[in-house]
């Protein structure tokens, strides 16, 4: 039975989401628990997240043995065996054709900032001194649309097609934190962190919206430093 899982995890404790030779990924940890309960299925993630990147709504699908009919019980058992840094939020049966990666229509990422860092949030928020909300709100809208993101991706990621469509962007304050939100069909490696890095330079007054347009249109490669991974979350995947 093809089954869809929605999970969350603390990325600071893993070497990314996809399986690694050292066995220290989120996928590796889930597969370990699968074997404990006699599930010998591979996992198909909706997409990869890098080392130190978190998720509140990562999705994967796996084919379960026919005897796993009680998904509430399965969820309880998985969460009992998994470390607290990985939680299964939801499980449901899907069609045999469902593919968590290829059938995803929209992926939502959030990048979280604070001007009030503490000893306990440094791996989950990015701390900056000051926020100019108007500057960021104006600049972030420039990413909306279809663009060739050659200057906003990590070199060596072996992607031939660098064109992506950003459906929506926003920047807002929630209590004591500030949030960048990006909605797209898919993303290149480190794309969001590079976009946020550029926006933070605009926030600081060191770059401008005009600079962003030059880089977005591939007329000039101005800024190449991604923002910290700690503030980045895969929030939701739409199908």
| Residues 57-71 pLDDT 10s | 999 999 999 999 999
> What pLDDT is attached to residue 19?
86
To which H or E segment does residue 93 belong?
Answer: strand 86-93
Pairing of strands 86-93, 232-238: unpaired
Specify the domain boundaries for CATH 3.30.70.580 within the chain.
2-93
To which H or E segment does residue 199 belong?
Answer: helix 191-203
> What pLDDT is attached to residue 158?
58
Mean pLDDT, range 176-198, rounded to an integer: 96
> What pLDDT is attached to residue 156?
62
pLDDT, averaged across the chain:
95
Specify the domain boundaries for CATH 3.30.70.660 within the chain.
106-238
Query: Quick one: which of 64, 69, 65, 71 has its CA closest to 90?
Result: 71
DSSP state of 123: T
Looking from the CA of 142 toward its CB, the CA atoms found within 13 Å total: 21
pLDDT-derived band at 160 (thresholds 50, 70, 90) equals confident
pLDDT-derived band at 22 (thresholds 50, 70, 90) equals confident
**Could you say which of 10, 50, 52, 204 is catalytic?**
50
Provide the sign of the torsion angle of the four alpha carbons 153, 159, 162, 163, taken in this order: negative
Task: Give the C-alpha separation, 103 to 90, whole Å.
Answer: 18
CATH number of 106-238: 3.30.70.660
The separation between CA 163 and the C-alpha centre of its own chain, rounded to angstroms, equals 18
CATH number of 2-93: 3.30.70.580
Mean pLDDT, range 150-161, rounded to an integer: 78
Task: Give the C-alpha separation, 170 to 190, whole Å.
Answer: 19
50 assigned to active site? yes
Task: Give the C-alpha separation, 211 to 143, whole Å.
Answer: 13
Distances (CA, A) of 195 to 38, 51, 108, 142, 224: 43, 18, 15, 11, 10
């Amino acid at each position: 039975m093809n089954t869809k899982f929605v999970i969350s995890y603390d990325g600071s404790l893993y070497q990314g989401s996809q399986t690694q030779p050292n066995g220290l990924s989120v996928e590796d940890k889930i597969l370990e628990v699968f074997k404990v309960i006699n599930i010998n299925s591979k996992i198909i993630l909706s997409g990869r997240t890098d080392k130190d990147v978190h998720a509140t709504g990562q999705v994967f699908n796996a084919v379960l043995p026919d005897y796993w009919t009680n998904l509430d019980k399965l969820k309880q058992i998985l969460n009992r065996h998994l470390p607290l840094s990985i939680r299964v939020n939801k499980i449901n049966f899907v069609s045999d054709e469902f593919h968590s990666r290829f059938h995803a229509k929209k992926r939502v990422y959030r990048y979280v900032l604070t001007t009030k860092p503490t000893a306990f949030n440094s791996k989950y928020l990015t701390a900056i001194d000051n926020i100019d909300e108007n500057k960021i709100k104006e600049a972030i809208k420039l990413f909306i649309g279809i663009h060739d993101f050659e200057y906003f991706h990590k070199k060596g990621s072996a992607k031939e097609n660098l064109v992506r469509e950003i459906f929506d962007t926003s920047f807002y304050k929630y209590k004591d934190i500030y949030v960048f939100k990006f909605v797209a069909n898919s993303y290149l490696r480190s794309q969001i962190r590079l976009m946020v890095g550029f926006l933070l330079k605009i926030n600081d007054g060191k770059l401008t919206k005009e600079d962003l347009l030059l880089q977005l249109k591939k007329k000039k490669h101005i800024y190449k430093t991604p923002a910290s991974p700690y503030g980045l979350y895969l929030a939701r995947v739409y199908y």
